[in-house]
């Protein structure tokens, strides 16, 4: 993260965005985005995990941090 920020500040990168796909295995790491902001990252982008047919319905329901409607965050995600 620091190296990428150095490249951005030196002008070697014109824009720096971190993409974070939120899922059960990593949602507690979302506060790391604050470090990116402190380093001057242009944008930190969060997106929900999508099921491209990789997981069964039951597996995906357990992995996703969104309710069945795909819009509402599960309660444990709301504090992040």
Residue 66: the pLDDT is: 97
pLDDT tens readout for residues 12-43: 999 999 999 999 999 999 998 889 889 999 99
pTM of the model: 0.81
65: Cβ contacts below 8 Å, ≥ 6 apart: 22, 23, 24, 27, 48, 49, 73, 74, 76, 77
């Amino acid at each position: 993260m620091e190296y990428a920020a150095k490249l951005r500040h030196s002008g070697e990168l014109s824009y720096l965005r971190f993409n974070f796909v939120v899922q059960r295995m990593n949602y507690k790491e979302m506060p790391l985005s604050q470090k990116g902001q402190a380093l001057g990252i242009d944008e930190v982008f969060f997106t929900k995990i999508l099921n491209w047919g990789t997981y069964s319905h039951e597996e995906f329901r357990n992995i996703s941090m969104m309710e069945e409607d795909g819009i509402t965050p599960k309660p444990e995600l709301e504090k992040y």
